[in-house]
A and B are shown apart, each in its own frame.
Chain A
Amino acid sequence: MSDKRLERALAPFREAAARPYDTVKACKASGRTQVVGCSPMHFPEELIHAAGMLPVVLQETEEPVTEGFAHVHPFFCGITRNAIDLAARGGLDFFDGLIYSDICIQNRNAALSLKHILPKGVRMALAQFPTVLSRDGVFEDTLRELGKVRGFIENLAGRRIEDQALAESIRLFNRNRGLLRRLFDLCRESPGRLSMRDRQIVVRAGMVMPREEYGRLLAGLATELEAVEPMTRSGQPLFLSGHLCQGPKLDIVDLIEGTGVEIVDDDLYTGRRYFALDAETDGPPLEALARRILDRTVPVPTRSDGEMGWAGYLVDRIRQSGARGAILLIAKYCEPHLFVYPFMKAALAEAGIPYLMLETEHEVVSLEGMRTRLQAFVEMLDRKAI
């Protein structure tokens, strides 16, 4: 398969990911649909889609925070400060609705700030799915909250969300997730097939594009990639972990790949985590969405089930991927991630897995310092390999 065909296949994803909100505005301007934003992580976008609207997972844009500082403390994570700043500058006014999930204190406070900042034309809701999973009644409570959210969306759309439409949306999203899994599996076999940068771009594009079009483009890309022969491995194979609900800056992804390592797998929100789980396609669709929200296969530190599952999960994932080590990306001020980091450190040390923790920020500073750390980590691995 020629490089040109791959470049052509990637072009629409790159365009959408480079200008995510322009992509959304273009959709809206063409009269195709209303657009509803949702914050990461657990929100079931299928509900918005089934109402005939475009679900948009909020993206962290590149602008430094300026006016937003009047509404948010500097010690909030990048994606919340960025969203608040955009809102303060009128950058989110094109949304018809915005739904935040109560996953952490920053998200909750962001929702409260946004409610005050955004014009009345942008209707807001806060979805409060249970965060303690090991108690009685958690499924019923999740279903009840989903029902409330469904009501908000129906009100926004001016129509009911029929179960059949919801079931069809679930099947579409499952198909897209399956295609993404296929793409990432192809890259795990041979990381050179698609750079980590492009893998990130493909996932992020799927958070803002009309999902039917996205699915068609994904299928085309998967076909192209399947035709690429596995390439000879070069560089240390590494696992990229972290960033629970925002993608790492592409500069940082480039920096990581620029050290010559091969990212064989990941658990980033804008990576494997996003498409790891499907919703069931039999039975009442709202219940299927509730079960998907509560699925503990991919542990998340914003929820408690009586055990700290992520450390063991991470060790297992790294071993399965064949990586020789891991890079852990922690977004500055992400409290849930920092809570589990000591457990991850201990688990990785016990498993004998070398790792490098990099703290990332919305305002990218000290790329050179990050480059030195990455290069030193690779030198360390290279010498261990001798």
Chain B
Amino acid sequence: MTYAAGVDIGSLTAKSVIVDRDCHVVAYRVVQGLIVDEAAASESLSLALAEAGLDRSDIGCLVTTGYGRSMVGFGDRNVTEISCHARGAHFLFPGVRTVMDIGGQDSKVISLSPDGGVGNFAMNDKCAAGTGRFLEVMAQALDLPISEMGPLSLRSEAPASISSICTVFAESEVISLKARGRSRLDIVAGIHEAIGRRMHSLVKQVGMGRPVAMSGGVAKNVGVVRVLERLMGTDILRPPEPQIVGALGAALFAREALA
């Protein structure tokens, strides 16, 4: 058993990462679902194992993380997504001091100490404002594919002012702006400003150290990233696959536990 695995069970996706003893990622998988449960988590692991040409018995230690970390029965231990995102980001970007994770329904900021451990953190999980769900709702209100929202937002020169406090109120505002004839470009840009402002206020709670990295699905949205870079006055590091950072961190904790 020379491999370790991490499974991140989020609200909208289940992610699995397998690493070898040298901490090389040998496979990963992201499974999207309406409701993420043990079956979805298990499916993501099975797909990652298949890609790596491995069997479950090849995994010496498996750590689960994420919202559903305690609900699956196939892990050896569970570690919070706070610790796992910090670990994963530190592995990908040694020396990173701030990690922002915007997921499907929550967001978090983690401040790392110089040795890569968690120094401080703040979470917003009381509502979905500023998260992937926020973007989905707005995309639907604007009748746009979510993948186009980010690039479109960059083309506006006058972003509309939109609430960052509540997804439901923001949706009402978007519909109202559409009815008043405001351009979709400006509304989309306003939505991204709202997400950026909300995230920025969370960063300020924790304090920002450089360099800054971003993880989670919303890190793929170039519009949100640009807004945050402007508000924070710094470039933001992004991995090629930001959704698996938590699972990667979990896999690294699992690797640490291997004899």
Which A residues contact B (CB, under 8 angstroms)? 365-366, 368-369, 372-373, 375-376, 379-380, 383-384
Q: Report whether A369 and B123 are in contact in the complex, using a CB–CB cutoff of 8 Å.
A: yes
Q: Report whether B123 and A379 are in contact in the complex, using a CB–CB cutoff of 8 Å.
A: no
Q: Report whether B118 and A376 are in contact in the complex, using a CB–CB cutoff of 8 Å.
A: yes
Contact residue among A365, A375, A376, A383 (Cβ-Cβ distance under 8 Å from B126): A365
User: Could you say which residues of chain A place their CB within 8 Å of the CB of B121?
Assistant: 373, 376
Q: Report whether A366 and B118 are in contact in the complex, using a CB–CB cutoff of 8 Å.
A: no
The 7 A-B residue pairs with the shortest CB-CB distance, nearest first, are A376-B82, A369-B125, A376-B80, A379-B83, A380-B118, A375-B80, A383-B117
Give 24 pairs: A residue, B residue, CB < 8 Å, sorted on A: A365-B126, A366-B125, A366-B126, A368-B67, A372-B67, A372-B80, A372-B82, A372-B123, A373-B121, A373-B123, A375-B80, A376-B80, A376-B82, A376-B83, A376-B118, A376-B121, A379-B79, A379-B80, A379-B83, A380-B83, A380-B119, A383-B83, A383-B118, A384-B117
How far, in whole Å, are A375 and B69 apart by their CA atoms in the complex?
Answer: 12
Q: Report B97 CB to chain A, min CB distance, Å.
A: 15
User: Could you say which residues of chain B place their CB within 8 Å of the CB of A372?
Assistant: 67, 80-82, 123, 125
> What would 19 more interface pairs be, CB under 8 Å, given A365-B126, A369-B123?
A366-B126, A368-B125, A369-B106, A369-B125, A369-B126, A372-B81, A372-B123, A372-B125, A373-B121, A375-B80, A376-B80, A376-B83, A376-B121, A379-B80, A379-B118, A380-B117, A380-B118, A383-B117, A384-B117
Residue of B nearest to A378 (CB): B80
User: Could you say which residues of chain B place their CB within 8 Å of the CB of A379?
Assistant: 79-80, 82-83, 118
How far, in whole Å, are A375 and B119 apart by their CA atoms in the complex?
Answer: 14
How far, in whole Å, are A368 and B117 apart by their CA atoms in the complex?
Answer: 23
Q: Number of residues in B with C-beta < 8 Å to the partner?
A: 14
How far, in whole Å, are A380 and B80 apart by their CA atoms in the complex?
Answer: 10
User: Could you say which residues of chain A place their CB within 8 Å of the CB of B82?
Assistant: 372-373, 376, 379
User: Could you say which residues of chain B place their CB within 8 Å of the CB of A369?
Assistant: 106, 123, 125-126
How far, in whole Å, are A365 and B83 apart by their CA atoms in the complex?
Answer: 23
User: Could you say which residues of chain A place their CB within 8 Å of the CB of B123?
Assistant: 369, 372-373
Among A366, A372, A375: residue with most chain B CB under 10 A: A372
Q: Report A360 CB to chain B, min CB distance, Å.
A: 12
User: Could you say which residues of chain B place their CB within 8 Å of the CB of A375?
Assistant: 80
How far, in whole Å, are A383 and B126 apart by their CA atoms in the complex?
Answer: 27
How far, in whole Å, are A134 and B67 apart by their CA atoms in the complex?
Answer: 50
Residue of B nearest to A372 (CB): B80
Q: Report A373 CB to chain B, min CB distance, Å.
A: 6
Residue of B nearest to A355 (CB): B120
Q: Report A135 CB to chain B, min CB distance, Å.
A: 37
How far, in whole Å, are A123 and B125 apart by their CA atoms in the complex?
Answer: 43
Residue of A nearest to B68 (CB): A368
- 1/0 per position for B151-163, CB-CB distance to A under 8 A? 0000000000000
How far, in whole Å, are A189 and B81 apart by their CA atoms in the complex?
Answer: 34
How far, in whole Å, are A245 and B15 apart by their CA atoms in the complex?
Answer: 44
Q: Which residues of chain B in 120-161 are interfacial with respect to chain A, using CB atoms and an 8 Å cutoff?
A: 121, 123, 125-126
How far, in whole Å, are A302 and B190 apart by their CA atoms in the complex?
Answer: 42
Q: Report A347 CB to chain B, min CB distance, Å.
A: 16
User: Could you say which residues of chain A place their CB within 8 Å of the CB of B80?
Assistant: 372, 375-376, 379
How far, in whole Å, are A369 and B126 apart by their CA atoms in the complex?
Answer: 8
Q: Report A199 CB to chain B, min CB distance, Å.
A: 27
- 1/0 per position for B23-65, CB-CB distance to A under 8 A? 0000000000000000000000000000000000000000000
Q: Report A354 CB to chain B, min CB distance, Å.
A: 9
User: Could you say which residues of chain A place their CB within 8 Å of the CB of B81?
Assistant: 372
How far, in whole Å, are A379 and B118 apart by their CA atoms in the complex?
Answer: 9
How far, in whole Å, are A262 and B118 apart by their CA atoms in the complex?
Answer: 21
How far, in whole Å, are A277 and B255 apart by their CA atoms in the complex?
Answer: 52
Residue of A nearest to B70 (CB): A371
Q: Report A259 CB to chain B, min CB distance, Å.
A: 10
Residue of B nearest to A368 (CB): B67
User: Could you say which residues of chain A place their CB within 8 Å of the CB of B117?
Assistant: 380, 383-384
Among B67, B79, B80, B125: residue with most chain A CB under 10 A: B80
Q: Report A136 CB to chain B, min CB distance, Å.
A: 42
How far, in whole Å, are A163 and B80 apart by their CA atoms in the complex?
Answer: 59
Residue of A nearest to B79 (CB): A379
Q: Report B37 CB to chain A, min CB distance, Å.
A: 15
Q: Report B131 CB to chain A, min CB distance, Å.
A: 13
Residue of B nearest to A361 (CB): B126
User: Could you say which residues of chain A place their CB within 8 Å of the CB of B125?
Assistant: 366, 368-369, 372
How far, in whole Å, are A372 and B121 apart by their CA atoms in the complex?
Answer: 11
How far, in whole Å, are A376 and B87 apart by their CA atoms in the complex?
Answer: 12
Q: Report A367 CB to chain B, min CB distance, Å.
A: 11
Q: Report A177 CB to chain B, min CB distance, Å.
A: 37
Q: Which residues of chain B in 89-139 are interfacial with respect to chain A, using CB atoms and an 8 Å cutoff?
A: 106, 117-119, 121, 123, 125-126
How far, in whole Å, are A379 and B79 apart by their CA atoms in the complex?
Answer: 8
Q: Report B104 CB to chain A, min CB distance, Å.
A: 14
Residue of A nearest to B117 (CB): A383
How far, in whole Å, are A170 and B214 apart by their CA atoms in the complex?
Answer: 60
- 1/0 per position for B213-239, CB-CB distance to A under 8 A? 000000000000000000000000000
User: Could you say which residues of chain B place their CB within 8 Å of the CB of A365?
Assistant: 126
Q: Report B12 CB to chain A, min CB distance, Å.
A: 16
Q: Report A48 CB to chain B, min CB distance, Å.
A: 40
User: Could you say which residues of chain B place their CB within 8 Å of the CB of A376?
Assistant: 80, 82-83, 118, 121
User: Could you say which residues of chain A place their CB within 8 Å of the CB of B119?
Assistant: 380
User: Could you say which residues of chain B place their CB within 8 Å of the CB of A366?
Assistant: 125-126
Among A373, A376, A379: residue with most chain B CB under 10 A: A376
Residue of A nearest to B116 (CB): A383
Q: Report A78 CB to chain B, min CB distance, Å.
A: 16
Q: Report B29 CB to chain A, min CB distance, Å.
A: 24
How far, in whole Å, are A380 and B79 apart by their CA atoms in the complex?
Answer: 11
